[in-house]
Amino acid sequence: MSEAKTLGELKKSGVAVLSVREEMRKNLVHCLESNKRILPGIIGYDNTVIPEIDNAILSGHHMVFLGERGQGKSRIIRGLVSLLDERIPIVAGCEINDNPYKPICRVCRNKLAELGDALPIQWIDRDHRYGEKLATPDVSIADLVGEIDPIKVAEGRYLADEETIHYGLVPRTNRGIFAINELPDLTEKVQVGLFNLMEEKDVQIKGYKIRLPLDVVIVASANPEDYTSRGRIITPLKDRFDVQIRTHYPKTLQDELAIMEQEAAPVEHRSRKVEVPRFMKDILAHLTFEARKSNEINQTSGVSVRVTINNFESLISNAEKRALRCKETEIVPRVSDLHALLASTSGKIEMEYVGEDKKEDELVEKLINRSILKVFDQHFTLNSLQKVVEYFNSGWGVEVSDQMASQDYLEDIKEIPGLKEAIRSLKIQESPSLMASATEFVLEGLHLHQKLNKEIQGGRVTYGNSK
């Protein structure tokens, strides 16, 4: 069916024009009835955050999402746009997307009075009905609400004329969703202006007050520490948000890994086929989990899922350099590549105490070692590797490096009793690259259990007798 071009045609078409809340509720009801996910790509919130979002939308509430960085707050908010209708009619040329049946700005009201059913309308997509602003101390009332336009005054209009107003971001998102990230970072003056807009439906610009009953759902995000009476949020504005929804980090390693694989740069763009053993992925996930419970890291700031994602990308990149230099056909990360995580982890954690005796790199190395141990213990017992330990105790040693060709490891694997069986238990394919990765994993695990000695010289590591 062709879209109506005038108010009269819209009336004849019978197309319902709903408020934003009614529209979102209608589309959510359809999703619930058909068991369709409302936020595809959001992992780990099916039993916690998403049910609360469902309730808020069914109730027609403004929402604020509270959580530390890297918990998907912005992504969730942007995903809510999918609950808007694909296209809606507005008064043609209106700056604030006026409803053709009930325009709220003076220009459109005058047009309706003059033209009646001949009022021209246009249709806009759902993406044009979403506005977003990162709250910073320099955001002004003019940015969010509006300002007197000096050009319109110069054209001969009076200051008291409503048509002199240049509308801000919130009015321009009328009949849509407006998001404010890091809400408490707005100054108190701007917070009061936003409260008036939400509660009283009035706009005060340069002392000129007009009623502006906007049809907009306001969604915000904030750090829990700031969103308190002791923080930087004024109580009246806090009270105006109908629900606050607490986000969280992934509760399971499986969710952490699923997010990592979904969000990381596509491996298809790499120069070789990428094969990351499961034990290496588990080490990355455990590293982030260890960081989130470390008392040496500021947990108020949080440890973002981006730590896991960026570590995954850095690990693959270090392995890719080796594959290129050694002319190997596969990119397979090893334990000796984990040093690449120092750069991608250090910048994303805030230490609780910083001083001469507290170094970020040392902390990251400690977290990596804990992670390797946890994953190692999930696969092996020390008794099962007794033959390997005895081989080294008899005086033999093995040298490894992140620049060493995978083929160089195969001779060592053949020589060490019990090592091939240990590698086979990891259920990996018997390619040189994967066998090399598994070899380093076994040797490093034994070293961390103090069964093997480890000497580092230049870029090379030698495992040998621990006695």
Q: What is the pLDDT of residues 433-451, one digit of tens each?
A: 999 999 999 999 999 999 9
Of 212-226, 308-322, 326-340, 375-389, least confident by mean pLDDT is: 212-226
Q: Rounded mean pLDDT of 275-296?
A: 95
Residues 6 or more apart whose Cβ sits within 8 Å of residue 324? 271, 272
Tokens read off for 446: 């034994």
pLDDT interval class at 164 (50, 70, 90): low
Angstrom distance (rounded) from CA 230 to CA 241: 18
pLDDT interval class at 229 (50, 70, 90): low
Percent of the chain with pLDDT over 90: 60
**Range 373-409 burial, b when 16+ CB lie within 10 A, else e:** bbbbeebbeeeebeebbebbeeeeebebbbebbbeeb
Residue 104: pLDDT over 90: no
Residue 237 has what pLDDT? Answer: 83
Task: Say whether domain 7-246 belongs to CATH 3.40.50.300.
Answer: yes
Q: Rounded mean pLDDT of 42-50?
A: 94
R_g (Cα) of the chain, nearest Å: 30
Strands 130-134 and 176-181: parallel
SS3 208: strand
pTM exceeding the 0.95 threshold for the entire prediction: no
pLDDT interval class at 148 (50, 70, 90): low
Residues 6 or more apart whose Cβ sits within 8 Å of residue 68? 223, 224, 249, 299, 300, 301, 302, 304
Q: Rounded mean pLDDT of 399-427?
A: 88
What secondary structure letter does DSSP report for 65? E
Residue 75: pLDDT over 90: yes
pLDDT interval class at 210 (50, 70, 90): low
Residues 6 or more apart whose Cβ sits within 8 Å of residue 62? 198, 217, 218, 219, 240, 241, 242, 243
Query: DSSP assignment of 332-396, as one string?
Result: ---GGGGGGHHHHHHTT--BSS-BTTB-HHHHHHHHHHHHHHHHHHHH--TGGGHHHHHHHHTT-
Residue 113: pLDDT over 80: yes
Tokens read off for 192: 């009061």
Instruction: Using alpha carbons, list the distances in angstroms from residue 306 to 142, 349, 363.
Output: 34, 11, 18
Angstrom distance (rounded) from CA 466 to CA 330: 33
**Of 410 and 283, more confident:** 283
Is the separation of the CB atoms in 25 and 57 below 8 Å?
A: yes
For 93, other C-beta atoms within 10 Å of its C-beta total 12
Residues 6 or more apart whose Cβ sits within 8 Å of residue 435? 406, 409, 410, 413, 423, 428
Residue 197 has what pLDDT? Answer: 75
Residue 147: pLDDT over 80: no
Residue 333 has what pLDDT? Answer: 96
Tokens read off for 124: 């806009």
Residue 1: pLDDT over 70: no
Provide the residue ranges of all domains of the chain, joining segments of one domain with +: 7-246, 253-465
Taking the alpha carbons at both ends of the chain, their separation in whole angstroms is 83
Query: In which residue are the tokens 């695990």 written?
Result: 445
Residue 152: pLDDT over 90: no
Per-residue pLDDT tens over the stretch 317-357: 999 999 999 999 999 999 999 999 999 998 888 887 655 55
Residue 236 has what pLDDT? Answer: 82
Angstrom distance (rounded) from CA 147 to CA 153: 12
- Residue 455: phi and psi, rounded to 5, are -120, 135
Nearest-CA neighbor of 134 among 177, 172, 64, 183? Answer: 183
Mean predicted lDDT score pLDDT of the chain: 88
Residue 16 has what pLDDT? Answer: 86
